[in-house]
């Protein structure tokens, strides 16, 4: 019998807890009693812990009563995971980290592991909206921006919210084989392996501040005229700068090359059209500035891991 423990702290995200727990619970229906997962919850300070949506859970034990070692220890995310500091929880995690079989975080739970010093030198991920923040706060971590979940030794970190289910399914597959994990996935009406990564959910180009600078003026022009043809030379001309100087300034301020920005803007435009219209792919490609469906399909596959048709079926 394997032990699975989930840590609860104030303002945790309930779905981060409920999703993985359901995976292990449903897996138990297919397993012999001696092979079942023993699931428990640990309160960080008190037994009664309120989630971010207001639901109160009663933990089985608190940190003082928790007795490991645990085969799987899960740390969920939540608004407080990246806003607050939990010294007792972080100290406890540092103590038990070397004893657990698998230490895993869901969504922004990675910030709690980072605060405990458990991400240094490790490949990790978190919700796409917080990967940059995680990388800045814990510069010794190697943050992957497009993975559903990342395994680095016995450390597992997952992306946003429902990716905790993907993570738990991968643990079940390792413990009991892919067939059982697939049976659990079918019970939950989810897929065993998603197409593409987190990038398909996140905008490739952030909104541009309406400030009066050459770079922002060029960015706004591209976003408003995305179907036009662009080159670095033309963009530099729009900024009133030399090509070499413009490319250097743009890369420094935007953290990507001018043509990477154009490419991201076109993909985001195409995604919007695929989500909200039934326009033919040829029209979508033209309005987004790709020129051809073939070019659009290539860049979608390269950046999102999906074809435009697959994206439309998933989000349209």
Integer Cα distance of 75 and 16 in angstroms:
9
Domain with CATH 3.40.50.880 in the chain: 2-198
In angstroms, rounded to a whole number, what is the distance separating the alpha carbons of residues 271 and 222? Answer: 16
Cα(311)–Cα(289) distance, rounded to whole angstroms? 18
pLDDT of residue 315: 75
Cβ 212 vs Cβ 275: under 8 Å: no
Residue located via tokens 């975080």: 105
CATH number assigned to the domain with residue range 2-198, chosen from the 4 options 3.40.190.10, 3.30.420.40, 2.40.340.10, 3.40.50.880: 3.40.50.880
Does residue 61 sit in helix, strand or coil?
strand
Q: Report the CATH number of the 214-315 domain.
A: 1.10.10.60
The answer to whether the beta carbons of residues 24 and 168 sit under 8 Å apart is yes
- Residues of each domain in the chain carrying CATH 1.10.10.60: 214-315
Region class of 186: left (phi > 0), else alpha (psi between -120 and 50), else beta: alpha
Structure tokens at 213: 């600078």
- pTM, two decimals, is 0.74
Q: Give SS3 for 40.
A: strand
The 3-state secondary structure of 221-288 reads HHHHCCCCCCCHHHHHHHHCCCHHHHHHHHHHHHCCCHHHHHHHHHHHHHHHHHHHCCCCHHHHHHHC
pLDDT in tens, the chain (316 residues): 899 999 999 999 999 999 999 999 999 999 999 999 999 999 998 999 999 999 999 999 999 999 878 999 999 999 999 999 999 999 999 999 999 999 999 999 999 999 999 999 999 999 988 998 999 999 999 998 768 889 999 999 998 778 899 899 999 999 999 899 989 988 988 766 665 555 555 566 655 655 678 998 999 899 999 999 999 999 999 999 999 999 999 988 888 899 999 999 999 899 889 988 999 999 999 999 999 999 999 999 888 888 999 888 877 6
Say what the pLDDT of residue 189 is: 82
């Amino acid at each position: 019998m394997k032990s699975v423990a989930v840590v609860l702290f104030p303002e945790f995200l309930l779905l981060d807890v409920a999703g993985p727990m359901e995976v292990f619970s449903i897996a138990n229906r297919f397993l012999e009693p001696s092979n079942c997962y023993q699931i428990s919850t640990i309160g960080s300070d008190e037994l009664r812990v309120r989630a971010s949506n207001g639901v109160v859970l009663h933990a089985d034990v608190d940190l003082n009563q928790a007795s490991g070692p645990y085969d799987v220890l899960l740390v969920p995310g939540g608004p407080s995971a990246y806003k607050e500091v939990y010294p007792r929880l972080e100290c406890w995690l540092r103590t038990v980290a070397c004893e657990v079989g698998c230490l895993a975080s869901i969504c922004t739970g990675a910030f709690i592991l980072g605060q405990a010093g458990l991400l240094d030198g490790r490949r990790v991920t978190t919700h796409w909206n917080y990967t940059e923040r995680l990388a800045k706060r814990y510069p010794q971590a190697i943050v992957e921006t497009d993975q559903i979940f990342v395994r680095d030794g016995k450390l597992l970190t997952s992306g946003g919210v429902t990716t905790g289910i993907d993570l738990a399914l991968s643990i079940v597959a390792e413990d009991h084989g892919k067939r059982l994990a697939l049976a659990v996935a079918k019970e939950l009406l989810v897929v065993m392996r998603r197409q593409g990564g987190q990038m398909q959910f996140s905008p490739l180009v952030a909104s541009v501040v309406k400030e009066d600078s050459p770079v922002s003026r060029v960015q706004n022009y591209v976003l408003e005229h995305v179907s036009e043809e662009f080159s670095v030379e033309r963009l530099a001309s729009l900024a009133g700068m030399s090509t070499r100087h413009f490319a250097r300034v743009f890369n420094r301020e935007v953290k990507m090359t001018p043509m990477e920005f154009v490419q991201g803007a076109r993909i985001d435009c195409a995604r919007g059209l695929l989500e909200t219209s039934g326009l033919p792919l040829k029209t979508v490609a033209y309005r987004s500035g790709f020129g051809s469906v073939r070019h659009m399909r290539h860049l979608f596959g390269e950046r999102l891991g999906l074809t435009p048709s697959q994206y439309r079926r998933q989000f349209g």
